């Protein structure tokens, strides 16, 4: 009976070996599938070190319990704990695997109830002896065990997929590297970037100005983003649309220092797909430009007009005067300035006198022109140019009507001529002169000297003067 028991023990060891192989294949299939899925998930998830360590600990715990389960299972079967692998169960499993069929079970059952004092015990022992002789001729390695070929094929396919993914996909291999470096935090690449277009002096504008904000998108940008503004702790969000990878918006009439940034938030049910993209924060600092608190432009007509100094209406940008007039400009600004000048339409300039925040200048007008007043402070900020056009009004020549004599007349050297003259001028008559030359007979030498005689001088100026003069 010892030979039968030894054969069954050897069979049990072979059975345990194949069961272990099957369990190991199952574990490898599970581990490789889990690792493949985790790497695939890591491609887009960029797991944190905390989660990667948790996954590693979980895998180690699962592995530990699998090994513990396999060892426990082997011990239970090897030592037939709780009758899990008794000899009869093993013999029953061999019925279809060896030529002895069910004779081993029968022998075990008969032997368990054998009475050696029975006269038929020798026959029983002889039958068992024959069975043992047959069993010794059977090689346990020839017994067919269930080999999980299907699972082996699955394992090979999974392994090939795993190796191919690492070799052919940079994203997959990078994801594996990130999982291996479990304590390092890797930043997830974002699908696009947002950045402000560069401007000259973009951080400084003048109070009350408009600011055009242009944001460039690099990558797969969304149709809309949010423009955020923060002024004196008051925050406002403005939705702006994309046009050819650009987002633009005009902020009107900025009167306070303002912070500006653009953002986009992707909401998703899956936490790893949630992300926020922001630009840098643009700090808008207001500058104060020079501004006129008071500006006076006076027109000083030529002295012959006897017109007093005139104050120009500041609501009019056109200045009308007569040639030879003097423009007198006086201004007071809101801050000290470094220089001030008049810039003419012919690209020439004329510097103005500056004292702290006051300016002044006088210059004569001899032709029509255009000019603008430009003031610059010590931070090189300029005022909004104030433009004027100067138009020359015609100064009409005096109108003279000689009423007497009204025709040619002959006189001798002793005769007097009573002249009656009417003179009209748009600015008035103060003085009048009689100019003449003496015409001699053609056979005498001609004297072309022009003789001038004052015939009227009056401080009381009138536009219409009637003159009577006795020319002797």
pTM for the whole structure: 0.55
| pLDDT greater at residue 39 or residue 413 | 39
> Does pLDDT of 305 surpass 50?
yes
Supply the DSSP symbol for 353. Answer: E
- Say if residue 68 is exposed, middle or buried (CB neighbours under 10 Å; 0-12, 13-18, 19+): exposed
Half-sphere exposure of 82 (CA within 13 A, CB side): 5
| pLDDT greater at residue 248 or residue 305 | 248
Tens-place pLDDT, residues 262-276: 999 988 888 878 888
Tens-place pLDDT, residues 151-161: 999 999 999 99
| pLDDT greater at residue 198 or residue 456 | 456
> Does pLDDT of 122 surpass 70?
no
- As given in the structure block, the two tokens for residue 147 are 């080999």
pLDDT of residue 121: 63
> Does pLDDT of 21 surpass 70?
yes
- As given in the structure block, the two tokens for residue 180 are 């291996």
CA distance 381 to 288: 8
pLDDT of residue 377: 92
Cβ atoms of residues 144 and 98 within 8 Å: no
CA distance 365 to 390: 8
* DSSP string computed for 364-406: E--S-EEEEEEEEETT--BPPPEEEEEEEEP-PPPEEEEEES-
Name the strand (E) or helix (H) holding 242. strand 234-243
- Say if residue 196 is exposed, middle or buried (CB neighbours under 10 Å; 0-12, 13-18, 19+): middle
pLDDT of residue 331: 93
> Does pLDDT of 49 surpass 50?
yes
Cβ atoms of residues 348 and 377 within 8 Å: no
Distance of CA 279 to the CA centre of its chain: 5
- As given in the structure block, the two tokens for residue 211 are 């600011």
pLDDT of residue 451: 78
């Amino acid at each position: 009976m010892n030979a039968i028991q030894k054969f069954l023990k050897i069979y049990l060891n072979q059975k345990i070996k194949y069961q272990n192989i099957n369990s190991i294949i199952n574990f490898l299939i599970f581990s490789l599938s889990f690792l493949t899925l985790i790497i695939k998930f890591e491609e887009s998830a960029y797991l944190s070190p905390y989660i990667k360590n948790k996954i590693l600990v979980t895998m180690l715990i699962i592995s530990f319990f699998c090994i513990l389960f396999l060892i426990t299972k082997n011990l239970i079967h090897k030592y037939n704990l709780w009758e899990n692998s008794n000899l009869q169960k093993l013999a029953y499993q061999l019925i279809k695997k060896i030529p002895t069929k069910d004779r081993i079970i029968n022998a075990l059952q008969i032997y368990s109830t054998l009475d050696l004092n029975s006269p038929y015990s020798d026959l029983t022992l002889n039958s068992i002896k024959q069975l043992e002789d047959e069993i010794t001729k059977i090689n346990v390695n020839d017994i067919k065990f269930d080999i999980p070929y299907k699972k082996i094929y699955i394992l090979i396919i999974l392994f090939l997929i795993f190796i191919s993914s690492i070799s052919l996909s940079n994203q997959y291999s990078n994801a594996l590297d990130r999982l291996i470096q479990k304590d390092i935090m890797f930043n997830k690449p974002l699908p696009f970037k947002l950045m402000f277009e560069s401007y000259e002096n973009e951080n400084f504008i003048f109070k009350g100005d408009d600011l055009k904000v242009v944001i460039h998108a690099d990558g797969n940008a969304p149709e809309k983003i949010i423009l955020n503004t923060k002024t004196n702790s008051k925050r406002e969000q403005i939705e702006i649309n994309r046009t050819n990878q650009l987002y633009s918006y005009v902020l009107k009439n900025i009167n306070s220092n303002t912070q500006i940034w653009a953002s986009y938030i992707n909401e998703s049910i899956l936490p790893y797909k949630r992300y926020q993209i922001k630009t840098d924060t643009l700090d808008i600092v207001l500058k104060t430009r020079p501004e006129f608190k008071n500006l006076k432009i006076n027109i000083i007509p030529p002295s012959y007009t006897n017109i007093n100094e005139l104050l120009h209406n500041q609501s009019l940008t056109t200045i009308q005067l007569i040639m030879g007039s003097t423009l007198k400009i006086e201004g007071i600004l809101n801050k000290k300035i470094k220089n001030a000048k008049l810039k003419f339409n012919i690209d020439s300039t004329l510097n103005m006198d500056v004292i702290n925040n006051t300016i002044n200048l006088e210059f004569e007008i001899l032709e029509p022109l255009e000019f603008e007043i430009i003031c610059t402070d010590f931070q090189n900020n300029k005022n909004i140019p104030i433009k004027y056009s100067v138009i020359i009004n015609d100064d009409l020549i005096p109108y003279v009507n000689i009423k007497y004599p009204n025709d040619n007349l002959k006189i001798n050297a002793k005769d007097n001529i009573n002249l009656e003259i009417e003179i009209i001028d748009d600015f008035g008559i103060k003085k009048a002169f009689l100019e003449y030359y003496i015409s001699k007979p053609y056979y005498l030498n001609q004297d072309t000297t022009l003789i001038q005689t004052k015939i009227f001088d009056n401080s009381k100026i009138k536009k219409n003067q009637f003159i009577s003069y006795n020319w002797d």
